[in-house]
Every structure is written in structure tokens, then in C-alpha cells.
Amino acid sequence: MDVETLTDAAAFRTLQAEWLALLSHMPSQSVFLTPQWQETWWHHFARDHQLSLLTVRSDDGVLRGLAPLMRSTGMESPSRLEFIGDVELCDYFDILVDPAYEQAVGAILGSALVAQTSEDVELCLTNLSSHSHTTTWLRQSLEDHGLTVVVEEIETCPTIVLPDDWETYLNMLRSKDRHEMRRKIRRAETTAHLEYVMASDATMLSEALETFFSLHRMSQQPDKRQFMTVDKVAFFRDLAHQLWTSGWLELATLQADGVAIAALCCFPYNGTYAAYNACYHPDYRHLSAGIVLFANRIQSAIARRFIRFDFLRGNEPYKYRFGANDQPLLQLFARTACPVSGSCL
């Protein structure tokens, strides 16, 4: 097998077809692992980082493994390698490996990662899905090459396993939660004329994005209001059009009597409908706009035969009232030298 380290951002495009083909074989797939997502993030936020895309090919030239990594160009010691992206914007990370080649790719990647620097190396891989095999095969490979490895649970992505129909879903909820959801939907529907608007062309998407940004700026929650910086607005504009073209993004807007009162950005990808980011009009709190819009998206996902509804990172109480259960996120932290207690933060 042959391993190569690519440092030119053009690799996102030249590898795109092979990257997506490899991703399609993964047990844990998400839109965050696509070359479109990672190239867009790199374009907007790379700054003081150096690209380190490790590719592993079998003798027939087929891509069997891809480690989308980056390192800081600063003076930190030991040198740290981490996934492309940041935990504020990216909910899942992983190394892409053909499942039939895990052991072989793991062995060669372990050697390559250690050889990335002549000094001590620190590997900090965060937001790995509990369904990923990476923490198993990579841990063994790194330990075989003399690194000490710590794997720990760091957060959760609450997820609903979706049934075949809406009524069955409602009956999965606790009685109190089911009653509250029905009551809030009924109250909103009798108080105002509700309309769910989905962007169906590029122009509508651009308009929906401006509404999305506007609702963020209206938020009375400081963390949400401050989240949408100028840099993030530019990132989301580029990303939304990239993903929407591939059918991997839906931007739903809830209108009440013609006024946009909530927006929800979602990623329909590989059988999972993921709710990424929501925002609401503070003057329409009495209509429970968030609950109503989330319920609509869950109902739509069920009707379209999605397998899971993923609320993504964070253990906010509302997610469990919708019937979600925890799906842990893991972190793998490794170093060539002791001590090994550390964090990716």
C-alpha cells in the first residue's frame, strides 16, 4: 500500500470523486465528512493551519484510506495534528477507511502519523461517532508505534430512530411530551395562518439565508446572536449553495401570517435527517415556533422514510422531549511522549 501526504488545497477537488466513493463505504457517514464541507471550511477558516491530507492506496491505485488532517503553523510543542474543521461548526469528524482494509490502512497510517514530525507528535481527534470503527483500529496502530492513547466520551448527539408513520412516533413519546407537542401545534395553527416554506431554487435559497441570518441577529440569547459573525455568514452562504446543489441541505422557514418566525437548517444525508441550526423571532415566542417547526421536519423525515433524526451535538432538554436518545461522541488523544492526559480544547 502507498501513503501520500497532500498539502495543496487543490486536493479537495482532485480527490472529490474518490473521496465520496470511499465515504459511501463508511459505517458512519455525515455531510461533515464530504469534501464539499471540508473544502468550504478550509477556504474560510484555515488561517494559521497547514493542510495534511493523508491518502492510502492499494497496489491497484484505489483509494482505501483518507485522513483529513491539519496542523498548526505556530510554535506549539509538541506538534499537534487534528481534523480539518472546528467543533463550533462541525459536529462529526472521522478518518475515512474502506472497512475491508481497516487493519492494513491502520498500520500504515500509524507509521505515517508518527513520521509527520521528527519531534514529539500529539494527535487530537475529536467528535468521532460512537458508530465509527476508528477508535478501535487506530488506537491499536498508534499503540503499536509507541504512542500512548486515551479514548473518552466527550459529548452527545441525541438522535431519534424514526418509525414508519407519524402516529407511531407520537406514541413513542412520554405522555406529557406528546400532549404538550399536540397542544402547542394546535395553538399555533389556531392563532395564525402557518406556512412552511422550503427553498426550491437558488434564488429562494439566497432569500431564505438572509432571513436565517436576520433571525439570528434578532435573538435574545447572547450566544446565538453572537454566533453568526461576518466570517460565519460568508461561510454559510458558500456552504449552503454547495450542499443544496447536491441535495444535502434544506432550509425550512416557518411563516405566521406572512412573517418569518423561525428557520431551521437541516442536512438530509445517507438516511439521516440532521437538524443543524435553528433561529426564532423573539416577538412570536407565544406560538412555540421552534417546537412547531421541529415537529414539521420530523414528520417530513418520517414521510420520506429517513431512518434517523439527528439533533446533532448538545444535550439541550428540548431534544429529549422529542424522544431523542444519546449517541456519544468520542475523542482520541495520543502522544509520543508522556504525560498523556490532555484535551483537544
Does 151 lie in the same domain as 6? Answer: yes
Number of domains in the chain: 2
Does 199 lie in the same domain as 112? Answer: no
pTM value is 0.93
Q: Which domain does 182 fall in, by range?
A: 159-321
Does 151 lie in the same domain as 164? Answer: no
pLDDT digits (tens, 9 = 90+) for 78-93: 678 899 999 999 999 9
pLDDT digits (tens, 9 = 90+) for 13-54: 999 999 999 999 998 899 999 999 999 999 999 988 999 999
pLDDT digits (tens, 9 = 90+) for 57-75: 999 999 999 999 998 866 5
Kindly state whether residue 213 falls inside one of the protein's structural domains. yes
CB contact set of 261 (below 8 Å; sequence gap of 6+) = 254, 255, 280, 281, 284, 287, 289
On the question of pLDDT at 127 being above 50, the answer is yes
- In the block, residue with C-alpha cell 472521522: 94
Does 147 lie in the same domain as 36? Answer: yes
On the question of pLDDT at 345 being above 50, the answer is no
> What pLDDT sits at residue 27?
86
CB contact set of 306 (below 8 Å; sequence gap of 6+) = 162, 268, 271, 272, 273
Does 294 lie in the same domain as 254? Answer: yes
Does 250 lie in the same domain as 123? Answer: no
Q: Is the model more confident about 301 or about 343?
A: 301
On the question of pLDDT at 188 being above 50, the answer is yes
Alpha helices in the chain (DSSP H): 11-14, 16-23, 35-45, 102-114, 134-144, 166-172, 175-191, 202-218, 222-227, 230-246, 289-303, 317-321
Does 246 lie in the same domain as 126? Answer: no
Does 314 lie in the same domain as 172? Answer: yes
Does 315 lie in the same domain as 192? Answer: yes
CATH number at residue 195: 3.40.630.30
Does 58 lie in the same domain as 6? Answer: yes
> What pLDDT sits at residue 79?
72
Kindly state whether residue 91 falls inside one of the protein's structural domains. yes
Does 104 lie in the same domain as 187? Answer: no
Does 203 lie in the same domain as 101? Answer: no
